[in-house]
Amino acid sequence: MISLTSEFTEAKGRHARGWLFFDAECKFCTRIARWLAPILERRGLALAPLQDPRVGALLGLSRFELMREMRFLLSDGSQSGGADAAVALAREIWWARPLVWISKLPRMMEALRSAYRWIASRRSCAATNCPSETLRGDFSGRKEGRSI
C-alpha cells in the first residue's frame, strides 16, 4: 500500500490524519465536501477527489469501484466506504455522533447502507457519462430507466 502521508499532504505541507475522498464530478457531492472542508480541517482531516490518479492505487480499487461511493481513510490504514464511511466520519465529529449510536441499533447499518445506495444512485454528475448510471436501480439487479 502506498503511504498515506507520502502520497497526500495538505497544501500547507502538513499531513492529515485521515482523508475523505469524494466524487468531484458530482455537484451534490462537491457541495457537501465544501461544507465539510472547514469542519474536517479543524479535526486534522482533509478532502480529496476520487478522480485523483493516486487514490485508486492508495485504496487498491479500480476506477469503477472508486466511483461507487465516497471513501474515508485514516492514517492507520483503516478505510470504509458509503454509509460505513459516513458512520466512521461521524465518530470524528462530536455533533454527528448520534449517527454512530443509531448505527448500533439492530438492522440500522443495513438501513443506512440501503439509504446511501439510494442517494448515491440518484446523485447528479457533471460528467457526461456518470459512473453511477450503471448502479441506478432498485438494488435487486434490475436497471431503472429514470434519473432524478
Q: Which residue has the higher pLDDT, 69 or 13?
A: 69
In the sheet with 71-74, reading across from the earlier edge strand, the strands are 45-49, 18-22, 71-74, 79-81
Q: What is the pLDDT of residues 3-13, one digit of tens each?
A: 444 445 444 44
Q: What does the pLDDT look like over 37-51, one tens digit per residue?
A: 999 999 999 999 999
Predicted local distance difference test score (pLDDT) of residue 15: 79
Of the candidates 88, 54, 57, the residue with the CA atom closest to the CA atom of residue 71: 88
Asked if residue 113 lies in contact with residue 84, where contact means CB atoms within 8 angstroms, the answer is yes
Report how far apart, in Å, the C-alpha atoms of 63 and of each of 58, 102, 122, 132 are. Answer: 12, 31, 19, 12
